Amino acid sequence: MAEPRIGVYICHCGSNIAGTVDVADVAKFAAGLEGVAVSRDYRFMCSDPGQEMIKKDIKELRLNRVVVAACSPTMHEPTYRRVLKNAGLNPYFFEMANIREHCSWVTEDKAKATEKAKALVAAAVSRVAYNQPLETRQVPVNHSTLVVGGGIAGIQAALKIADSGNKVYLVEKSGSIGGHMAQLDKTFPTLDCSACILTPKMTLAGSHENIQLLTYSEVEEVSGYIGNFKVKIRKKARYVDLNKCTGCGNCTELCPTSVPDEFEEGLAKRKAIYKPFAQAVPNKVLIDAKSCLHIKGLASGKDLCRLCQKGNPKKGIVGCETGAIDFNQKDEVIEVEVGAIIVTTGYQLFDPSVVKQYGYGRLDNVLTSMEFERIVNSAGPTGGHIKLKDGKEPESIGIIHCVGSRDEKYHEYCSRVCCMYSMKFAHLIKEHTSAEVYEFYIDIRSFGKGYEEFYNRVLEEGTVFLRGKPAEVTNIAEKPEEKGKLIVQFEDTLIGRQRRIPVDMVVLSCGVEPSHDAAQIARMFNISRSADGFFLEKHPKLDPVATMTDGIFIAGCCQSPKDIPDTVAQASAAAAEALSMISRGTVEIEGATAVINEKLCTGCQFCKEVCPYSAISFDDKKKVCRVNDALCKGCGACVGGCPSDAISLNHYTNEQILAQMDGALT
């Protein structure tokens, strides 16, 4: 190996690094390190002139190793590897010292930061001398995509990909696709009927030749890597043969068991055998095993009910005519192979019963926003009539914003949709009734296209906007006019006085929160989560749908609260990411793979057991293990697991890591 001739480049990153680290001093220090041929500092190493500087030095000063001390390798390692490649050097002769995230951003004292930057640079210089040339590999991309979650985000992403002629598996855990959007009445600010704009897309997704719809199914296991994922999906028993069921609904009429209807937010009942909602896709029934008398009876060996299946022959009532009901159906686990995964698992509504002072669950006629969506919906439990519990029409309604949002006790973030849907409610109330409407808000956030105009419209319709977060909702009257009413006590902050407004109904504009199983989903797909619990994108501005796991993308409210337009835009972006992989046909895989020293291998096969990518096989003749380069992702599990120290990981050899530590410590 030729003597190392190392070029060291210290980036100022504007004032990001240079503001805290004495970059000139670090460059001077690096110049004195062993093997360093040149050391420079520059304002922006990642800029064109910065990159050109490295290229020029490689040629003119015959550099054979390069160290850049700048930001995180996640950000710019690919950039500089490309520079080396273009200058004719193997890209693995490069090392990055992170003196921004690991140093200048987290150290206030300039002297200490400079000292730390020197240690990090020395570590990188010491290591790079031992770096070996490696080749990246191209692996083919499977052209199928998995979309997890059948709300508007999942439907949109699935349709975009399917329309391009590529296969999509659309997995939905409930009995129908549609998600929360199917529950909404109108959509702000244009007041399109939610079902009217969603149903065509649902039907299309249900009948598309390239979409395999897997409703009432959940992903169980994900293995593999970008371009080549293997996914196990559990199709839960719905006790109804989808091929035979015509969705006629005869069975639901016969079923004697009623339970609260999830789709109607518990405001109406459904049967144990049911269709999730009128426009469900697939438009077929399923049996809720927890409430079905027959299935519950089976556990104690009894053969009960089965009215849906058999009818009542004595009375001449027939059961399912197509024989679609099958109580012997079992869960089925299928395995599919896909190149990309798009996670669109959505959100859940904040449960306001924990905000005791608003009385949800304690006081009648205090509703969540989703309950109100159903009440105001003409297909809902009241047929679209806004009614109090006693059946009367309310004369006044109070809408309380920011319930569960913008509050450090619940969620610090703004849920982004509540202001707008609250104002939509105000409009709908005025349309349906003659009630007075009060909006209790902290700040009105109407930032989207046509949103501020909608705010103006609602103002002019006579809705009363009161600035102040209510302190409490009570039914204890202090004055005669408060008798029999719900009283909202708050400070009218624009007047600076405490006020009490008596109303007949209170709607709590609940925020959006990560679904209860978000942690489990994140673990399964190896997605990080931000502090608020939502899935974390790779870069908040420039890589908003990618995740830290290559080939896995996110869209919709699982990433952060957002409205329908933003969700659809993000879902289309995720589809574009998947399609770009498919159309490229191959993906580049890191050159760092594990190698087994066959002389040291005892053939215990422990490495084979711990390998998450099934990249290790056992040679029966030689009694040693071997790594399949094409499958190895360089995770290092086998290296740590090998009891004989027979495995090393390219680009992370003991020699390299020890040299790096030596450099940092001297």
Partner 1 sequence: MKSFLDEVKATPGGEHVLACIQCGTCTGSCPMAQYMEFPPRKIIAMIRAGLREEVLSSSSMWHCLSCYSCTARCPRGVKPTEIAHALESLANKHGFKVGGTKTPMFYRSFVDSINGRGRVFELGMMIKYYLLTNPLAGLKIWKVGLQLFTHKRIPLKGARIKETGDLSRILRKYKEIGGSD
* C-alpha–C-alpha distance, residues 596 and 75, integer Å: 31
* Cβ at position 355, least distance to partner 1 in Å: 9
Of 267-275, 282-290, 330-338, 493-501, the window that binds partner 1 (rule: CB under 8 A) is 493-501
CA distance to 480, 501, 606, per residue, from 483 (Å): 6, 12, 75
Q: Indicate the residue among 175 and 359 with the shorter CB distance to partner 1.
A: 359
Q: Which of 393, 461, 491, 588 binds partner 1 (CB under 8 A)?
A: 491
Query: Could you tell me which of 225, 224, 233 has the C-alpha nearest to residue 147?
Result: 233
Q: Does 654 bind partner 1 (CB under 8 A)?
A: no
Q: Which of 314, 330, 409, 516 binds partner 1 (CB under 8 A)?
A: 409
Q: Does 353 bind partner 1 (CB under 8 A)?
A: no
* C-alpha–C-alpha distance, residues 483 and 502, integer Å: 9
Q: Does 407 bind partner 1 (CB under 8 A)?
A: yes
Q: Indicate the residue among 430 and 469 with the shorter CB distance to partner 1.
A: 469
* Cβ at position 546, least distance to partner 1 in Å: 33
Q: Which of 378, 498, 614, 654 binds partner 1 (CB under 8 A)?
A: 498
SS3 of residue 139 by DSSP: strand
Tokens for 70? Answer: 């700048």
- For the segment 116-135, give every residue that binds partner 1 (CB under 8 A): none
Q: Does 357 bind partner 1 (CB under 8 A)?
A: yes
Phi, psi (deg, nearest 5) at residue 605: 70, 15
SS3 of residue 22 by DSSP: coil
Query: Could you tell me which of 30, 26, 28 has the C-alpha nearest to residue 6?
Result: 30
Taken in order 284, 290, 296, 298, is the CA torsion positive or negative?
positive
SS3 of residue 450 by DSSP: coil
Q: Does 402 bind partner 1 (CB under 8 A)?
A: yes
Q: Indicate the residue among 355 and 554 with the shorter CB distance to partner 1.
A: 355
Q: Indicate the residue among 461 and 492 with the shorter CB distance to partner 1.
A: 492
Q: Which of 37, 379, 442, 524 binds partner 1 (CB under 8 A)?
A: 442
* C-alpha–C-alpha distance, residues 524 and 531, integer Å: 19
Q: Does 531 bind partner 1 (CB under 8 A)?
A: no
- For the segment 454-483, give every residue that binds partner 1 (CB under 8 A): 467-472
DSSP 182: G
Q: Indicate the residue among 253 and 412 with the shorter CB distance to partner 1.
A: 412
Q: How many residues bind partner 1 (CB under 8 A)?
A: 22
Computed on alpha carbons and rounded to an integer, the radius of gyration of the chain in Å comes to 31
* C-alpha–C-alpha distance, residues 50 and 56, integer Å: 10
* Cβ at position 413, least distance to partner 1 in Å: 12
Amino acid 274 reads Y
* Cβ at position 510, least distance to partner 1 in Å: 15
Q: Does 666 bind partner 1 (CB under 8 A)?
A: no
Q: Does 512 bind partner 1 (CB under 8 A)?
A: no
* C-alpha–C-alpha distance, residues 280 and 283, integer Å: 5
Q: Which of 188, 277, 490, 613 binds partner 1 (CB under 8 A)?
A: 490
Q: Indicate the residue among 493 and 586 with the shorter CB distance to partner 1.
A: 493
Of 101-109, 121-129, 407-415, 600-608, the window that binds partner 1 (rule: CB under 8 A) is 407-415
Q: Residue 562: is it exposed, middle or buried by C-beta count within 10 angstroms (0-12/13-18/19+)?
A: buried
* Cβ at position 360, least distance to partner 1 in Å: 15
Tokens for 577? Answer: 């990411």
- DSSP-H helix ranges across 302-416: 307-310, 369-376
Q: Which of 48, 408, 460, 620 binds partner 1 (CB under 8 A)?
A: 408
Helix orientation angle between 564-584 and 152-163, rounded to the nearest 10 degrees: 30
- For the segment 79-108, give every residue that binds partner 1 (CB under 8 A): none
- For the segment 304-333, give every residue that binds partner 1 (CB under 8 A): none
Q: Which of 497, 516, 541, 599 binds partner 1 (CB under 8 A)?
A: 497
Tokens for 67? Answer: 């160290």
* C-alpha–C-alpha distance, residues 532 and 516, integer Å: 13
* Cβ at position 534, least distance to partner 1 in Å: 20
- Which residues are near partner 1 by CB under 8 A? 357, 402, 406-409, 442-443, 467-472, 489-493, 496-498
